[in-house]
Amino acid sequence: MTKPHREQLEVFDNSYPSRDYEIQIRCPEFTSVCPKTGQPDFGELIFTYVPDKKCVELKSLKLYLQAYRNEGIFYENVTNKILDDFVAAAEPKTATLVSNWGPRGGISSIITAKYVKST
Amino acid sequence: MTKPHREQLEVFDNSYPSRDYEIQIRCPEFTSVCPKTGQPDFGELIFTYVPDKKCVELKSLKLYLQAYRNEGIFYENVTNKILDDFVAAAEPKTATLVSNWGPRGGISSIITAKYVKST
Amino acid sequence: MTKPHREQLEVFDNSYPSRDYEIQIRCPEFTSVCPKTGQPDFGELIFTYVPDKKCVELKSLKLYLQAYRNEGIFYENVTNKILDDFVAAAEPKTATLVSNWGPRGGISSIITAKYVKST
Amino acid sequence: MTKPHREQLEVFDNSYPSRDYEIQIRCPEFTSVCPKTGQPDFGELIFTYVPDKKCVELKSLKLYLQAYRNEGIFYENVTNKILDDFVAAAEPKTATLVSNWGPRGGISSIITAKYVKST
Amino acid sequence: MTKPHREQLEVFDNSYPSRDYEIQIRCPEFTSVCPKTGQPDFGELIFTYVPDKKCVELKSLKLYLQAYRNEGIFYENVTNKILDDFVAAAEPKTATLVSNWGPRGGISSIITAKYVKST
Amino acid sequence: MTKPHREQLEVFDNSYPSRDYEIQIRCPEFTSVCPKTGQPDFGELIFTYVPDKKCVELKSLKLYLQAYRNEGIFYENVTNKILDDFVAAAEPKTATLVSNWGPRGGISSIITAKYVKST
Amino acid sequence: MTKPHREQLEVFDNSYPSRDYEIQIRCPEFTSVCPKTGQPDFGELIFTYVPDKKCVELKSLKLYLQAYRNEGIFYENVTNKILDDFVAAAEPKTATLVSNWGPRGGISSIITAKYVKST
Amino acid sequence: MTKPHREQLEVFDNSYPSRDYEIQIRCPEFTSVCPKTGQPDFGELIFTYVPDKKCVELKSLKLYLQAYRNEGIFYENVTNKILDDFVAAAEPKTATLVSNWGPRGGISSIITAKYVKST
Amino acid sequence: MTKPHREQLEVFDNSYPSRDYEIQIRCPEFTSVCPKTGQPDFGELIFTYVPDKKCVELKSLKLYLQAYRNEGIFYENVTNKILDDFVAAAEPKTATLVSNWGPRGGISSIITAKYVKST
Amino acid sequence: MTKPHREQLEVFDNSYPSRDYEIQIRCPEFTSVCPKTGQPDFGELIFTYVPDKKCVELKSLKLYLQAYRNEGIFYENVTNKILDDFVAAAEPKTATLVSNWGPRGGISSIITAKYVKST
């Protein structure tokens, strides 16, 4: 299985670039590995973005996310890294990524990172 | 079965044009076809608008939406196109269309497009 | 059964007129008749108002709403008409009426109308 | 689009035929057409069966169900016909089909049909 | 508006009389009148029956139930009477009627009546 | 305020005595007093009975239950006593009373008592 | 049982007066009496306040609220009176009281009153 | 803090010993310690019993359960031990104890133990 | 990462072998791979068993289930195989395994397999 | 068991300090002791913070919170003290702590305290 890299994310032309509309994508089946314990982590990722000239192709997003299956990476870092890759590929006007993780030791975490294109 | 076209949308006179009030219409039974795979898509459409001089007649809206049953069209495009047709027919002060789609490959999408009459 | 008229709405003195407080009244058992099909419509009405010098007496509101039982009237019109009658009777500082209607042909509607006293 | 026929349903060998276990399959995206009004119907189908020597292949089930998209057929008949086709293809020990339909005229329906292999 | 009578209930031939299957019909929009207070009652009716040679036609059931709109009748009696009419029209193998009524004076009621064809 | 006594419970003739049907009555607004601490208790009472020749009149039930408002009585005893009074008044074929009490010290209680007429 | 009076409300020193933090107190077991009908009313009270130099002691609040058990008072008045007493005792920076009442005649009410210390 | 022992459980006379009725007690605030890891465990205990001559006094049950706060004991053992102590104290006709534990390592557990008096 | 094998499942002595009690274990974070498409599957596994002389140690169960992370195996087979391994390790009196899988192509599956020790 | 002190809270470097992102941590298994009654309190703590240069390590947070297990401290004080310790350790840009406590005497409490770094 390949490692995740942002070139996996494919885009297509936004047919309505003159209107600012919002796309939300829910991915409840994300899994990666805790780099400290080697144990798998499970979470839901929720992308919300306003496209500029490009939209993210969903099947390529699925394959990109699957590539984290055996990657060791912390919650905070995987959230920020995926947002960075998403922004690099889609160049959206705004984008938010929420990652919601299953409980560990009685404690569960939600990370929310946002991007706004500088104008 | 006819193809969808905006002339299918009928309107009636708004009896309270001096008050800005909001009408929300939920259509949980929308279906169209994915142009890439030929597979049917299922979604819920939620219109929220402030009428100006006209209100949209619900039965004509139902028939207009049914005309997408065998149309191949992407999520983003069908949402924007339906909003455009709705706005052309009703000429509302504001209008929002949310489309909420069933999961494909473990991923589900929600598109939100808004229109505000320029003044 | 009498037809609905705003004189049915009784009021009593607001004992706390110097404080702007909010009263919400939920009426889940409203029914009227569709003027086009003659079929009964069922909905929930939710009033939210800030009283000025008067509060609406609940039993009179119940009887007033029951008078719509055999009235033929559209969703948009009944919502605006009831709000107008409510405002005429109670002369509130602000008032909102939400009407939430059962599905017809797979489509359901929510109407929201607001009133603000001009100052 | 082809009409639905039971030969569309493919099966594969049950690897655990000596144990009576249960398989439930939920299909929330079923649509057919009312033969009386020509209007589309939307429902959820839930199959629950105990396989004998064969299991139903899910992708072929999906395609078989999609073939009802433009078929005019009543709730009761489509439920019984699909159960008959399912039983003919899979020859299960027992099978139940529940169909749960969206409201029409304020009324919604659930049909439950069962099959038990005679011994 | 006509008074309710069992001749309003229409039936059609059951196409699968050799299989005992179950039909559930939910009617959340029932209303009648309390004979004691003259106040409207609101409830949900749920029919569950196993057809023999006949199925109940849904539109005729809707019209039959609407005829109670201005009838004065107690919870217990309307439930038993409607079940009797339903059984007389459809001659089912078994039938159950549940009526679930909105609260009055802080108290709400559910009535459940069953019929089994004697053999 | 009067103390609760079973003569408060009024009954009316069951119009369908030949059919065994079930009546459920939910009373979410019951309150009595803890005899040990003097603190008020709050609970929901749910009666479920099959009437014989008599049905319980709901308004009299409401008044009977209100008479416990200032009575000091334990959960177990109030549940059994009310069931006894209900049975004495209505002489049902079967009757069940469930009482569901708000938490005290982090602990909440549900009492379920049943009566079956000996034959 | 004593009548409710604001001296029943005890306070203790706020240990963190330099930080504006919020305390919400939910009291789902409030009961008083309708002055018109003599019937008991049941509601939930929710206090939300930002303490200044004092916090309200919960046990004294419970006893104060219990003193309304046999008081005849309207929804609007009891909500405003309790807020006034609460503010007089605790002298908070801000305070909100929401009272949420069980349905009467198919209608239920929620009253929301707010206080902000003038500066 | 004392260690848990069954003598902490107090009982009182069942006033209705001739009727088999059921008492359910929910304790959502139970905590003990994992003997392997030293980490605290959190669970909900639900007792359901039919009393014979004695009922369990709730405050003593609360104190008995609190005594497990710093005890190291496995899920299976604490459930069975508490049921044994409960049965020894109350000598019920039947008793069931369900313990429902928070997730550890993505896995959560529910233990259900039952007692029936031998006759 | 090692392949799953039943020797990974560790057990410990059941301290209450004379009582038939039930242990339910919920594992919402199971993932394996579809052998046909190579795509990951996600499901929840729920074990319910009555122990005989041995209980299953939870950490070893977690590691055993993690070993399926990169295994290609069908829903039906993985459910039956895991139940077989569980039974071989724990030799319970009875055991049930439910596997509940995320939707694919709009269709989701639940498999339920049971084991009863022959006596 | 050690007493809680802020040195127990460990931190690690924030890898994305240039982006303001939010971390929410839910701890549903918090328990401390009421200093007045000696009874245990149970609550859920929810931290929401925007990290600056440091993130809080979750395992150390768990151990820090466990140290309150046998501490006598009021709701208001424990919420403010834990927020102070959290801020001292992590030096975040903003931080909010919500504590949600189980009901006592029919009353439950939620405390919300916020911190914003002065600039």
Chains that touch J (3 or more CB pairs under 8 A): A, F, G, H
Identify the bridge partners of residue H42 per DSSP, sorted by sequence position: H31
**Is A106 within 8 Å of H43 (Cβ atoms)?**
no
**pLDDT score recorded for residue J34:** 95
Cα–Cα distance measured from residue G20 to residue E70, given in angstroms and rounded to the nearest whole number: 57
| J33 Rama class: left (phi>0) / alpha (psi -120 to 50) / beta | beta
**pLDDT score recorded for residue A34:** 95
**Is H26 within 8 Å of F107 (Cβ atoms)?**
yes
Any G CB within 8 A of F2 CB: no
Residue ranges, chain J, pLDDT below 70? 1
Cα–Cα distance measured from residue D65 to residue D74, given in angstroms and rounded to the nearest whole number: 15
Q: Do G69 and F66 count as a contact with CB atoms less than 8 A apart?
A: no
- Confidence class for position G119, pLDDT limits 50, 70, 90: confident
Any H CB within 8 A of J35 CB: no
G111 SS3 class: strand
Mean pLDDT taken over chain B: 96
Residue numbers in H near I20 (CB within 8 A)? 114
Among D73, D47, D115, D96, smallest CA distance to E18 is for D115
* Candidates A31, A41, A42, A104, partner chain H, best to mutate (most H CBs within 10 A): A104
Cα–Cα distance measured from residue A44 to residue E24, given in angstroms and rounded to the nearest whole number: 37
DSSP string of I57-82?
A: -HHHHHHHHHTTTT-B--HHHHHHHH
F42 SS3 class: strand
- Residue range D34-68, pLDDT digits in tens: 999 999 999 999 999 999 999 999 999 999 999 99
Size of interface F-J (CB pairs under 8 A): 15
Q: Do B105 and I106 count as a contact with CB atoms less than 8 A apart?
A: no
Question: J44 exposed, middle or buried (CB, 10 Å; 0-12, 13-18, 19+)?
Answer: middle
**pLDDT score recorded for residue J57:** 97
Among candidates D105, D106, D112 on the partner chain, residue whose Cβ is nearest the Cβ of E21: D112
- Residue range H36-89, pLDDT digits in tens: 999 999 999 999 999 999 999 999 999 999 999 999 999 999 999 999 999 999
The H or E element spanning position F79 is helix F75-90
Provide the residue type at B107 as one letter.
Answer: I
Percent of chain F with pLDDT over 90: 97
- Residue range C84-95, pLDDT digits in tens: 999 999 999 999
Residue numbers in D near C106 (CB within 8 A)? 42, 102-104
| Residue B86 C-alpha, separation from nearest chain I C-alpha, in angstroms | 29
Which residue bears the tokens 């305020």?
F1
Among candidates E15, E19, E62 on the partner chain, residue whose Cβ is nearest the Cβ of D107: E62
Provide the residue type at J73 as one letter.
Answer: I
> For strand G40-50 and strand G22-33, is the pairing parallel, antiparallel, or unpaired?
antiparallel
Q: Do B28 and C106 count as a contact with CB atoms less than 8 A apart?
A: yes
- Residue range B53-86, pLDDT digits in tens: 999 999 999 999 999 999 999 999 999 999 999 9
- Residue range B36-59, pLDDT digits in tens: 999 999 999 999 999 999 999 999
| D93 pLDDT more than 70 | yes
Q: Do H106 and I15 count as a contact with CB atoms less than 8 A apart?
A: no
Any A CB within 8 A of I29 CB: yes
G37 SS3 class: coil
Phi, psi (degrees; rounded to nearest 5) at F75: -50, -50
Any D CB within 8 A of I61 CB: no
Any C CB within 8 A of B17 CB: no
**pLDDT score recorded for residue D108:** 97
Q: Any alpha helices (H) in H3-112, and if so which ranges? A: 58-66, 75-90
What are the percentages of helix, strand and coil residues in chain J, rounded to 5? 25, 40, 35
Cα–Cα distance measured from residue B63 to residue I65, given in angstroms and rounded to the nearest whole number: 50
**pLDDT score recorded for residue I119:** 76
* Candidates I39, I74, I76, partner chain D, best to mutate (most D CBs within 10 A): I76
Cα–Cα distance measured from residue D89 to residue D87, given in angstroms and rounded to the nearest whole number: 5
The H or E element spanning position D30 is strand D22-33
As given in the structure block, the two tokens for residue G34 are: 């309708």
Cα–Cα distance measured from residue J17 to residue A76, given in angstroms and rounded to the nearest whole number: 11
Among candidates H22, H55, H58 on the partner chain, residue whose Cβ is nearest the Cβ of F112: H22
- Confidence class for position I40, pLDDT limits 50, 70, 90: very high
- Residue range G2-44, pLDDT digits in tens: 799 999 999 999 999 999 999 999 999 999 999 999 999 999 9
**Is H110 within 8 Å of I46 (Cβ atoms)?**
no
CA J10 to chain centre: 13
- Residue range A23-68, pLDDT digits in tens: 999 999 999 999 999 999 999 999 999 999 999 999 999 999 999 9
As given in the structure block, the two tokens for residue C73 are: 């009237």
**pLDDT score recorded for residue H1:** 61
Which whole number is the average pLDDT over E59-72?
Answer: 96
Residue B4, Cβ neighbours under 10 Å: how many? 22
Cα–Cα distance measured from residue G74 to residue G69, given in angstroms and rounded to the nearest whole number: 13
Biggest distance spanned by C-alpha atoms of chain A: 48
- Confidence class for position F1, pLDDT limits 50, 70, 90: low
Among F10, D28, D37, H1, smallest CA distance to I103 is for D28
Among candidates F28, F66, F102 on the partner chain, residue whose Cβ is nearest the Cβ of G40: F66
Among D110, F51, C64, smallest CA distance to E75 is for F51
Any A CB within 8 A of B104 CB: yes
Cα–Cα distance measured from residue A118 to residue C94, given in angstroms and rounded to the nearest whole number: 41
Percent of chain E with pLDDT over 70: 99
As given in the structure block, the two tokens for residue A11 are: 């885009």
Pick the catalytic residue from B34, B52, B84, B85.
Answer: B34
Residue H119, Cβ neighbours under 10 Å: how many? 4
| A2 pLDDT more than 90 | no
Identify the bridge partners of residue C24 per DSSP, sorted by sequence position: C48, G110
Write down the pTM of the prediction.
0.96
As given in the structure block, the two tokens for residue E36 are: 């004691």
Among B87, B114, B117, smallest CA distance to B9 is for B87
**Quick check: do D and G touch, 3+ CB pairs under 8 A?**
no
Q: Which residues have C-beta within 8 Å of that of residue G114, sequence separation ≥ 6? A: C19, C20, C21, G94, G95, G96, G97
Q: Do F109 and H16 count as a contact with CB atoms less than 8 A apart?
A: no
Mean pLDDT taken over chain G: 96
**pLDDT score recorded for residue I79:** 98
Q: Is I41 a catalytic residue?
A: yes
Phi, psi (degrees; rounded to nearest 5) at C37: -105, -15
Provide the residue type at F2 as one letter.
Answer: T
Residue numbers in C near E70 (CB within 8 A)? 69-70
**pLDDT score recorded for residue A51:** 98
Residue numbers in A near J14 (CB within 8 A)? 76
As given in the structure block, the two tokens for residue I33 are: 């791979």
Residue numbers in E near F82 (CB within 8 A)? none
End-to-end Cα, chain C, rounded Å: 39
Q: Which residues have C-beta within 8 Å of that of residue G8, sequence separation ≥ 6? A: G2, G60, G63, G64, G67
Any I CB within 8 A of H114 CB: yes
| B119 pLDDT more than 80 | no
Phi, psi (degrees; rounded to nearest 5) at J47: -95, 135
Q: Which residues have C-beta within 8 Å of that of residue F106, sequence separation ≥ 6? A: H27, H28, H29, H62, J42, J102, J103, J104
**pLDDT score recorded for residue D1:** 61
- Confidence class for position I1, pLDDT limits 50, 70, 90: low
Q: What is the ipTM of this complex?
A: 0.95
- Residue range F56-112, pLDDT digits in tens: 999 999 999 999 999 999 999 999 999 999 999 999 999 999 999 999 999 999 999
**pLDDT score recorded for residue H12:** 97
| G1 pLDDT more than 70 | no
| G99 pLDDT more than 90 | yes
| B2 pLDDT more than 90 | no
The H or E element spanning position E30 is strand E22-33
Cα–Cα distance measured from residue E104 to residue H51, given in angstroms and rounded to the nearest whole number: 35
- Residue range E28-47, pLDDT digits in tens: 999 999 999 999 999 999 99
| C98 pLDDT more than 70 | yes
